[in-house]
Amino acid sequence: MSSPDTATLLIHCPDRPGLVHDVTGFIFAHRGNIIDLQQHIDPTLDAFFMRLEWSLENFTLEKDEIASRLQPLARRHDMQLRLHFASQKKRVALFVTKENHCLYDLLARHEAGDLPVEIPLIVANHDTLRPAAERFGIPFYHFPITKDNKQEQEAAQIELLKKERVDTVVLARYMQIISPAMIAAFPNQILNIHHSFLPAFVGAKPYHQAHARGVKIIGATSHYVTADLDEGPIVHQDVMRVSHEDSVQDLVRLGRDLEKTVLAKALWWHVRDQVLVYQNKTVVFE
Amino acid sequence: MSSPDTATLLIHCPDRPGLVHDVTGFIFAHRGNIIDLQQHIDPTLDAFFMRLEWSLENFTLEKDEIASRLQPLARRHDMQLRLHFASQKKRVALFVTKENHCLYDLLARHEAGDLPVEIPLIVANHDTLRPAAERFGIPFYHFPITKDNKQEQEAAQIELLKKERVDTVVLARYMQIISPAMIAAFPNQILNIHHSFLPAFVGAKPYHQAHARGVKIIGATSHYVTADLDEGPIVHQDVMRVSHEDSVQDLVRLGRDLEKTVLAKALWWHVRDQVLVYQNKTVVFE
Amino acid sequence: MSSPDTATLLIHCPDRPGLVHDVTGFIFAHRGNIIDLQQHIDPTLDAFFMRLEWSLENFTLEKDEIASRLQPLARRHDMQLRLHFASQKKRVALFVTKENHCLYDLLARHEAGDLPVEIPLIVANHDTLRPAAERFGIPFYHFPITKDNKQEQEAAQIELLKKERVDTVVLARYMQIISPAMIAAFPNQILNIHHSFLPAFVGAKPYHQAHARGVKIIGATSHYVTADLDEGPIVHQDVMRVSHEDSVQDLVRLGRDLEKTVLAKALWWHVRDQVLVYQNKTVVFE
Amino acid sequence: MSSPDTATLLIHCPDRPGLVHDVTGFIFAHRGNIIDLQQHIDPTLDAFFMRLEWSLENFTLEKDEIASRLQPLARRHDMQLRLHFASQKKRVALFVTKENHCLYDLLARHEAGDLPVEIPLIVANHDTLRPAAERFGIPFYHFPITKDNKQEQEAAQIELLKKERVDTVVLARYMQIISPAMIAAFPNQILNIHHSFLPAFVGAKPYHQAHARGVKIIGATSHYVTADLDEGPIVHQDVMRVSHEDSVQDLVRLGRDLEKTVLAKALWWHVRDQVLVYQNKTVVFE
């Protein structure tokens, strides 16, 4: 990137007077120029959330000393901090099974320069999409999974992800339940796309459930994966109108457009550090 | 109405070749001019649905003989038929509690000529909205309901509705569960508005449930009332985007816009005989 | 209102480092507690925009001295400031012609407590909606307008509005072009609802234009009125899907739902001081 | 396809009584089973439109005799007819320039079996997307276009399309104005995607125009290409909410999601023979 690097700070702490003044004082004292500042106060929890992005062009601190210099501020206000730099692109692993729509959509965005990440690898429990991966020149790892080998295959996956320094896992229509070990290794960093408007139609075959109930709208939900199936913090949702004319197969086909755009949008927010998780919900600083 | 009357026929029968030809033949034989024809085939059920509206301007049958003359056709194809005339406006009772938004919305549409019904009465379990009813000159009946008197009050309501020749009941934010006796008296003719995207958030306080789950979209659902709470056939749904900024109170306030437009649209389709119920779903001929 | 009063500050100035820090320093120094802070930077214009709302509960300045005490800050940064207090409700005049939907919608919201304004009067160029105004107990002023009397009638309207200390004019389907004198008297305080997705279909009969063009979506736009017809800063827009089935009359009927919700939403933002105008555009701090 | 073939008939004629009866009589007489029937009457034009799809499983006419056997019916009612068979997939040429999103989207749908067409070739005025074409194994033809060679290059394109028996041209973000010769060779068979909500922002750089006007919603429009730039019959449109936060570059990026889904949906309807053009509008039988 030829444009100067930026730093992003995500803050979560108890609400009290003077927080914004104190944090912006730190930036100002070191000649940072704020590009974006968003804050949110949850009055029922007395909780304060902030996202602050500033230019490092004239900043007087080195990147690797910012975190430690923020410590007094953090201690003073009992803050949980996350610090990111735009130049350090997230390394994203795509997990797929057989359906290609989310995979192609993300790869096309990446190729067009619309998704600021690195994609070092694709993981799959079937070999179906290997040609798709190869077309885009991305290493493809096939982990066939059965009841018997599931635990050891997931252990091998985690090892591979660690080796490749992956920090975000995207389940791009990956038809396997993620084990607690994987979830623990990537807390709030595994993004799933569920093909319903959660919490409606949790679990398997949501389009079949939707058709059976006779809903007039279908949806898709992208959420972080937690130990409770389809119960993790929701990042993004969108919906589409359907009618009695639409068969289950129509819902499946139509829903793919929702799935790919909802997942891509959630991932966009995630990789730009616009998402903060608390109490199984998200604050999305749009 | 100065424009000539029209007849509408709603048909539900097993699918077989020649149905459209046979029905349109009946209309053509008596010089009816078709204004609208929509059909739907459910291939999984081998079921055929049709809505046919034709002008009575040059029709050679009298209105009161059409039903009987349709009998041979109906028997031949094992049809369930419903016949309506545009000139016979439905008589709609509005049931309310304390919130005014759906009530005012429907009364304003009615006054503007956008809702082709008669509204002979408003029923309420609180006296709060009496002034609203009086402003529009519509009789207001207050039925205070307690655990002890619920059964007899509902019996009195049914008697009143029958006396007033009501054929459609609209629960315009009526905060009482409808008893089986009322449901049996008005099968698929009691239209409710539920303040969530069903089947998500069934039951009480759906906005509180939605806020607790951290959804990014809220909805409203209009459905016919059946014995299973919030499980009746869905007529219409719509949604609205929300964010972490929105408190429960915001959701309640924002949701009112959804509730009133969704209910009004469902009622529009209902009173124009565009809705056919089967197997706890609806076919809506838009 | 039993809850403590809040102050809202809207700021527009050239962008430079330290702005947020300086402004929040002022609030903090006088023990204000920030409830909401939103800022926006337009990098192409090097312009800075901010909305700041804080509780006056423990604030150490009196309300009537805040503005003057802000002057040094304003001069230092070349700021344009607007200061409002939640307790000082805007006084809104509703202008109508014959159609009732926007009028009833706003009056119902007001009665339900969902619109924090005072509505001291309704102005109309026809007498049609007098009964609607009377039902809600709001004074109704009829100003019949012809080519010959237009100038003097508008002068009388302005005088009336000034006498009633009106600060916001809402054209709730008022079918008259507003003269420059009125616009000058209420700059960026006259809110109109135009029944199209501007800039498509400027001027008269937009639904007819939309039908003739065969669009698949119709819209409504709420904007501030300026000297250029339908060219003022857009506050809010929304759309609705239509089809070849819809006649011009259908578009007119369907569009009313858009018009009333779009106008109500724009007014909500306006009266809560969430809208900042610059260069014929708006910053809406949602 | 293992499922039996179907025939689709698109009819456009003056409205008169008995049309549906007469057409369905033809199908019934030859043992066709109707799968879908939709009709539309435009009362202002006294025009009748119908789409009829029936199974050929037991149909007693050969495919190649259906058209001629329909002639008496067509003459009797002054009908314009179009007859298609599901088994005869349309041959679609994709025209592109440099942007990949619509191209990849269509190719991924095709590979997934969600787009029932053949794609014999891709035409481009730049060489940029050749690798994308090659990945999917589709012949790529590069026609560099300058002011001087435009006419002869288009003549060569038309010749190529004819040779490849192309019947539909999709301008998948093809940044060239199509000449009258090409339009005449493919009447109502060239589908374009324009990156605005037409008729707003006709012509070049619509996102820049939208940003300058300060709209709160952006759109995309798919239409058939006619001699009047961006004035052809609209097949599909969709929109997306934006805000003051969004720069022109954001609109460009966000808009791509609209462009690809709107174009794909319009193409879906087109290739399934669900679109009828009349008077510069479309009837879309959904």
User: Out of C101, C109, C112, whose CB is closest to B108?
Assistant: C101
User: Residue A120: inside a domain, yes or no?
Assistant: yes
- Which residues on D lie below 8 Å from C44 (Cβ)? 247
Q: Cβ–Cβ of D40/C282 closer than 8 Å?
A: no
Q: Percent of chain C at pLDDT above 90?
A: 97
> What are the start-end ranges of the H helices in B94-140?
101-112, 130-135
CATH no. for residue D280?
3.40.50.170
- Which residues on B lie below 8 Å from C99 (Cβ)? 112
CATH no. for residue D29?
3.30.70.260
Identify the domain containing residue A16 by its residue range: 6-85
Distance of alpha carbon B121 from alpha carbon B93, whole angstroms: 5
Tens-place pLDDT, residues C116-142: 999 999 999 999 999 999 999 999 999
Neighbours of chain A (3+ CB pairs under 8 A): B, C, D
Same domain flag for C25 and C70: yes
B112 Cβ under 8 Å from any chain C Cβ: yes
Nearest chain A Cα to B249, which residue? Answer: A44
Q: Cβ–Cβ of A24/C28 closer than 8 Å?
A: no
* Closest chain C C-alpha to B81 CA, distance in angstroms: 25
* Confidence band of B74 (pLDDT split at 50, 70, 90): very high
Same domain flag for D14 and D156: no
Does the structure's ipTM exceed the value 0.90?
A: yes
Tens-place pLDDT, residues D220-239: 999 999 999 899 999 999 99
Overall average pLDDT of the A8-13 stretch = 98
Neighbours of chain B (3+ CB pairs under 8 A): A, C, D
Overall average pLDDT of the C104-122 stretch = 96
Q: Cβ–Cβ of C112/B135 closer than 8 Å?
A: no
Q: Cβ–Cβ of B199/A198 closer than 8 Å?
A: no
C21 Cβ under 8 Å from any chain A Cβ: yes
Same domain flag for A29 and A110: no
* Confidence band of D4 (pLDDT split at 50, 70, 90): confident
Tokens 């017809």 label which residue?
C229
Overall average pLDDT of the A167-179 stretch = 96
Overall average pLDDT of the A95-106 stretch = 97
Nearest chain A Cα to D264, which residue? Answer: A257
D278 pLDDT exceeds 70?
A: yes
Domain stop point among B45, B69, B85: B85
D236 Cβ under 8 Å from any chain C Cβ: yes
User: Residue C280: inside a domain, yes or no?
Assistant: yes
The residue that leads in pLDDT, B71 or A203, is B71
- Which residues on C lie below 8 Å from D44 (Cβ)? 247
Give pLDDT, residue C1: 40
Distances in whole angstroms, Cα of residue D198 to Cα of each of C203, D102, D246? 17, 19, 20
Distances in whole angstroms, Cα of residue D66 to Cα of each of A92, B26, C17, D59, D273? 56, 27, 76, 10, 17
User: Residue C152: inside a domain, yes or no?
Assistant: yes
B1 pLDDT exceeds 90?
A: no
Do the bridges between strand A275-278 and strand A281-284 make them parallel or antiparallel, or are there none, so unpaired? antiparallel
- Which residues on B lie below 8 Å from D36 (Cβ)? 41
Best residue in C217, C258, C269 for a mutation probing chain D (most D CBs within 10 Å): C217
Nearest chain B Cα to D50, which residue? Answer: B37
Tens-place pLDDT, residues B131-145: 999 999 999 999 999
- Which residues on D lie below 8 Å from C235 (Cβ)? 216
The helix/strand count (H/E) of chain A reads as 9, 13
Same domain flag for D205 and D80: no
- Crossing angle of helices B206-213/B248-271, nearest 10°? 130
Same domain flag for A202 and A220: yes
User: Out of B100, B111, B112, whose CB is closest to C111?
Assistant: B100
User: Residue A187: inside a domain, yes or no?
Assistant: yes
Best residue in D213, D244, D247, D279 for a mutation probing chain C (most C CBs within 10 Å): D244
User: Residue D1: inside a domain, yes or no?
Assistant: no
- Which residues on D lie below 8 Å from B35 (Cβ)? 41
Domain stop point among D85, D104, D124: D85
Same domain flag for C250 and C124: yes
Overall average pLDDT of the B188-192 stretch = 98
Size of chain B in residues: 286
Tens-place pLDDT, residues D83-102: 999 999 999 999 999 999 99
User: Out of A111, A245, A256, whose CB is closest to D100?
Assistant: A111
Distances in whole angstroms, Cα of residue C112 to Cα of each of A209, B240, B260, D228? 38, 21, 14, 51
Same domain flag for A146 and A243: yes
User: Out of B215, B235, B247, whose CB is closest to A234?
Assistant: B215
* CA angle centred on B5, ends B3 and B11, rounded to 5°: 140
Nearest chain A Cα to C18, which residue? Answer: A28
C4 Cβ under 8 Å from any chain D Cβ: no
User: Out of C44, C198, C244, whose CB is closest to D282?
Assistant: C244
Nearest chain A Cα to C33, which residue? Answer: A17
Nearest chain C Cα to A38, which residue? Answer: C38
Cβ pairs bridging B and C (under 8 Å): 41
User: Residue C1: inside a domain, yes or no?
Assistant: no
Q: Which residues of D, range 239-258, sit inside 8 Å of B by Cβ?
A: 241
Overall average pLDDT of the C265-278 stretch = 97
A101 Cβ under 8 Å from any chain D Cβ: yes
* Confidence band of A1 (pLDDT split at 50, 70, 90): very low
Give pLDDT, residue A95: 98
Domain stop point among C66, C85, C104: C85
Q: Are C60 and C239 in contact (CB under 8 A)?
A: no
Tens-place pLDDT, residues C8-39: 999 999 999 999 999 999 999 999 999 999 99
User: Out of D100, D108, D135, whose CB is closest to A100?
Assistant: D108
- What is the total count of domains within chain C? 2
Overall average pLDDT of the B250-264 stretch = 97
Same domain flag for C188 and C264: yes
* Closest chain A C-alpha to D128 CA, distance in angstroms: 12
D1 pLDDT exceeds 60?
A: no
Nearest chain C Cα to B115, which residue? Answer: C253
User: Out of C100, C112, C261, whose CB is closest to B111?
Assistant: C100
D260 pLDDT exceeds 70?
A: yes
B51 Cβ under 8 Å from any chain C Cβ: no
Tens-place pLDDT, residues C208-262: 999 999 999 999 999 999 999 899 999 999 999 999 999 999 999 999 999 999 9
Name the residue type at position C236: H
Q: Cβ–Cβ of C28/A35 closer than 8 Å?
A: no
Same domain flag for A106 and A14: no
Overall average pLDDT of the B199-211 stretch = 94
Overall average pLDDT of the C41-62 stretch = 95
Same domain flag for C170 and C252: yes
Give pLDDT, residue A231: 94
Nearest chain D Cα to A134, which residue? Answer: D135
Question: Mean pLDDT over all residues of chain B?
Answer: 96
Give pLDDT, residue A2: 52
Give pLDDT, residue D2: 52
Cite the active site residues of D: 230
Same domain flag for D204 and D264: yes
Question: Mean pLDDT over all residues of chain A?
Answer: 96
Tens-place pLDDT, residues C172-205: 999 999 999 999 999 999 999 999 999 999 989 9
Same domain flag for D136 and D259: yes
* Closest chain A C-alpha to B228 CA, distance in angstroms: 13
Distance of alpha carbon D248 from alpha carbon D212, whole angstroms: 9
Q: Cβ–Cβ of B27/D34 closer than 8 Å?
A: no
Give pLDDT, residue B4: 80
* Closest chain B C-alpha to C65 CA, distance in angstroms: 31
Question: Mean pLDDT over all residues of chain C?
Answer: 96
User: Residue B1: inside a domain, yes or no?
Assistant: no
User: Residue B33: inside a domain, yes or no?
Assistant: yes
Of C225, C144, C146, C140, nearest in space to C179 by CA: C225
**Region of residue D78 (phi > 0: left; psi between -120 and 50: alpha; otherwise: beta):** left
A10 Cβ under 8 Å from any chain B Cβ: no
